[in-house]
Structure 1
Amino acid sequence: MNSLTVEQVLKEKKTHDPDFVKELNLGHKALTDVSCLSKFKNLEKLDLRFNNLKDLQGLKSCVNLKWLSVVENKLQSLKGIEALTKLTVLNAGKNQLKSMNEISSLVNLRALILNDNEISSICKLDLLKDLNSLVLSRNPISEIGDSLSKLKNLSKISLSDCRIKAIGSSLKSCSDLKELRLAHNEIKALPAELALNKRLLNLDVGNNMITKLSGLEVLGTLSCLRNLNIRGNPISDNEKSAKKVRTLLLPSVNVFNAQPLEKSSRNAKHTRLDTDDENFDAHHNKLGEEEQSKEYRKSKKSSKRNKSEEEEEEANNDDHKTKKKKSKSNPSVDQVETEKKEEHKQKKIQSNNDDDDAEKKQKRDTPKQELDAIDDAETSFAEIFSRENVSKGSSGNGIEKKKRSSVQETGLVKVIDTKANKKKIEKKQSKSVVIDLPMEVEIGLGGESKWE
């Protein structure tokens, strides 16, 4: 198929109104004529790559075009494109273009791609104030000249595999330049004016003719530079000179000659290992504190139990001695003492039953309290785990149980003890609570998981 008809386009887009068509992909159709596209007034994006077009006269009426690709056609000029003033992207690479004069009116152009053509000079770019990407690789361009002096918004320039011998001051106005590709040229040294391109991130000057270290001295002023390639230059073949470039002139570079620098990777590795070691030590220190806290609680309980047993035994011995004396002096006293003893036993049994009832009630209330805490959005994970530990580890007489249950009802997580030890016990209790949480590692950070 050599020419295109309106009917074919409408059929492909499944519509009857050309005004509804805003985008067309007509690549790989061997087209030689696209004049029918003048009917599509609202066309904004058009792909005509891999066809046989020799000019762009058929696109004169497509004044709303913003994106156009005519890669790999047979274009010898860009005539017909002058009226497309709304274009922001033009890709006419791999054609037979010998000049770029027609693009001077494309004042809204932001990306101009004309690689692999026969263009010998850069010109007519003065009015393209918004241009930020310029690709002219593999064209017989011998010098850059002053053609880019007014393009302050340029951030990417590719002039690889041309015939450029010097850069000079041609890029001094490109203050936003971030990527510069000048590989496979005849450059002998980088100019001092390159220091004005302070935002430069990527620089490729591989396969040029740089022989001396002085030809790269300006690199030391580019503090933002992250990626540098000088492979294929005579200076790169000299190991000592290449090492000086890497260590003395490039403190900020991460990738040198397409290889990540060992320094940055080694530092990252040590940082990760140090972090892991710190987490490991902290974990085991916390475990040690928990064990000490458990031993402390156990020893305190056993000491209380032993003390109460000793006091009870002494009281029994005293009662026994008193009873013996009284029984010798008066037999009726024995009967009174026996009755008192039986009454004391009954009271003790009643007291134990009351304590058991209180403990059962507390156990019944505990699940409800825990559920209330979980439902409360302001309650932290640490407090929920603390409630569980306190309820499981509680022991002692009935008074302590009542105090703990009253504290739990208020929503506070504390262990009731003497005033002197209150703060210490509370602090150790909080430390042991944190230990109960799973020790996990956040992916990529090497640190503890943050539950709260």
Structure 2
Amino acid sequence: MARLSSDQVLKDNNAADPTSVTTLYLTHKALSDITFLANFINLEKLDLKLNNLTSLEGLRSCVNLKWLSVVENKLESLEGIQGLTKLTVLNAGKNKLKSIDQVMSVVSLRALILNENEISSICKLDQLKDLNTLVLSKNPIRKIGEALMKVKSITKLSLSYCELQGIDTSLKSCVELSELRLAHNEIKCLPEELKLNSKLRSLDLGNNVITRWSELKVLKLLTNLRNLNLQRNPVATVDKVTRKVKKALPNYRYSMLDQ
């Protein structure tokens, strides 16, 4: 079924009036067109996962949306979400997105999940003052740049499988960061500026190219760190270094180090 009518949606949801519907689950419907949602102006939660969407233009009138999932579609752009000023959660993972510029105007966003796309650079997210979760894993980003320089609210950040060679000073303003995932990259060294992320509790550095203790010594300044993954880094096979890591983190509860 490639097309749905608003009448069919109402029937499926035992509703008589589209304005009375606040939640819709329209997954696995082979949808390529969502213009039928134009009259569902009070929708707050919408799940469109696993369809054939190439555009979100049909959502422009759904101005009350707070939660939106468009996972596993065929989107190359997020055009159409700019007017969704109440949106707090957007999950657009597993699409064909190359840019996230359209999210800049959605200042209400708290969670932005864009894993497994084709995003090669991150625009500045300065306006997203309430953003606390950002997932960009499995995108060819390579550099974080200044995208997060003014985003102080982030607590969870995932950049695994992003071809990163380092994080430099790009996270120094993320002072609320508690969970950082950087596995499966090409990171050689942790910058001294990481000490500014003093609330870090979980740090995943598995499958990188860290070779020496000097590239990790900032860890001893992360006194709140509880979970650390260094598995499959050259450094994780050196007993002398692993002892230094454990000594530097006397309060850690769970550390994955190659045996």
TM-score range, shorter chain: over 0.9
Give the corresponding residue for 1:113: 113
CA RMSD, 1 decimal: 1.1
**Identical-residue share of aligned pairs (%):** 60
Give the corresponding residue for 1:252: 251
Q: Secondary structure at the match of 2:134?
A: strand
Letter of the aligned partner of 1:256 in structure 2?
A: S
In 2, distance between residues paired with 1:43 and 1:189?
Answer: 46
Residue 57 of structure 1 deviates from its aligned partner by 0.8
Residue 19 of structure 1 deviates from its aligned partner by 1.2
Letter of the aligned partner of 1:196 in structure 2?
A: L
In 2, distance between residues paired with 1:18 and 1:258?
Answer: 55
Q: Secondary structure at the match of 1:190?
A: coil
Q: Secondary structure at the match of 1:61?
A: coil
> Quick check: 2:143–2:166 contact (8 Å CA) kept in 1?
yes
Give the corresponding residue for 2:68: 68
Aligned residues: 258
Listed one character per residue, the Cα deviations across residues 88-143 of structure 1 (whole Å, up to 9, x for unaligned) are 00000000001001111100000000000000011141110100000000000111
Listed one character per residue, the Cα deviations across residues 155-194 of structure 1 (whole Å, up to 9, x for unaligned) are 0000001111111111111110000000011111101000
Change over 3 Å in CA distance of 1:230–1:258 after alignment to 2: closer
Give the corresponding residue for 1:240: 240
> Higher helix fraction: Structure 1 or Structure 2?
1
In 1, distance between residues paired with 2:234 and 2:98?
Answer: 33
Give the corresponding residue for 2:94: 94
Q: How does 1:252-401 map to 2 (within 5 A)?
A: 252-257=251-256
In 2, distance between residues paired with 1:80 and 1:181?
Answer: 30
State whether structure 2 residue 152 is matched by structure 1 residue 147.
Answer: no
State whether structure 2 residue 66 is matched by structure 1 residue 59.
Answer: no
Q: Secondary structure at the match of 1:30?
A: coil
Change over 3 Å in CA distance of 1:76–1:239 after alignment to 2: same
In 2, distance between residues paired with 1:137 and 1:164?
Answer: 11
Give the corresponding residue for 2:190: 190
Give the corresponding residue for 1:414: none
> Quick check: 1:183–1:204 contact (8 Å CA) kept in 2?
yes
> Quick check: 1:46–1:67 contact (8 Å CA) kept in 2?
yes
Q: Compare CA radii of gyration and give the structure with the larger one.
A: 1
Listed one character per residue, the Cα deviations across residues 18-46 of structure 1 (whole Å, up to 9, x for unaligned) are 11100000001111111010111101000
In 1, distance between residues paired with 2:124 and 2:56?
Answer: 19
Residue 244 of structure 1 deviates from its aligned partner by 2.2
Listed one character per residue, the Cα deviations across residues 330-354 of structure 1 (whole Å, up to 9, x for unaligned) are xxxxxxxxxxxxxxxxxxxxxxxxx
> Quick check: 2:211–2:234 contact (8 Å CA) kept in 1?
yes
Give the corresponding residue for 1:204: 204
Letter of the aligned partner of 1:257 in structure 2?
A: M
Listed one character per residue, the Cα deviations across residues 392-439 of structure 1 (whole Å, up to 9, x for unaligned) are xxxxxxxxxxxxxxxxxxxxxxxxxxxxxxxxxxxxxxxxxxxxxxxx
In 2, distance between residues paired with 1:109 and 1:4?
Answer: 29
In 2, distance between residues paired with 1:107 and 1:179?
Answer: 22
- Which structure ranks higher in relative contact order (CA pairs < 8 Å, sequence separation ≥ 6)? 2
Residue 258 of structure 1 deviates from its aligned partner by 7.5
Listed one character per residue, the Cα deviations across residues 292-324 of structure 1 (whole Å, up to 9, x for unaligned) are xxxxxxxxxxxxxxxxxxxxxxxxxxxxxxxxx
In 2, distance between residues paired with 1:67 and 1:53?
Answer: 17
In 1, distance between residues paired with 2:34 and 2:243?
Answer: 57
Q: Secondary structure at the match of 2:240?
A: helix
> Higher strand fraction: Structure 1 or Structure 2?
2
Q: State TM-score, norm by structure 1.
A: 0.56
Q: Which runs of 5+ in 2 are unaligned?
A: none
Residue 243 of structure 1 deviates from its aligned partner by 2.2
In 1, distance between residues paired with 2:227 and 2:132?
Answer: 20
Q: Secondary structure at the match of 2:112?
A: strand
In 1, distance between residues paired with 2:65 and 2:53?
Answer: 18
Letter of the aligned partner of 1:93 in structure 2?
A: G
Residue 17 of structure 1 deviates from its aligned partner by 1.1
Q: Which runs of 5+ in 1 are unaligned?
A: 260-452
> Quick check: 2:3–2:32 contact (8 Å CA) kept in 1?
yes
> Quick check: 1:103–1:124 contact (8 Å CA) kept in 2?
no
Give the corresponding residue for 2:173: 173
Give the corresponding residue for 1:12: 12
> Quick check: 2:236–2:257 contact (8 Å CA) kept in 1?
no
In 1, distance between residues paired with 2:160 and 2:36?
Answer: 38
Letter of the aligned partner of 1:65 in structure 2?
A: L
Q: Secondary structure at the match of 1:103?
A: helix
Give the corresponding residue for 1:35: 35
> Quick check: 1:100–1:124 contact (8 Å CA) kept in 2?
no
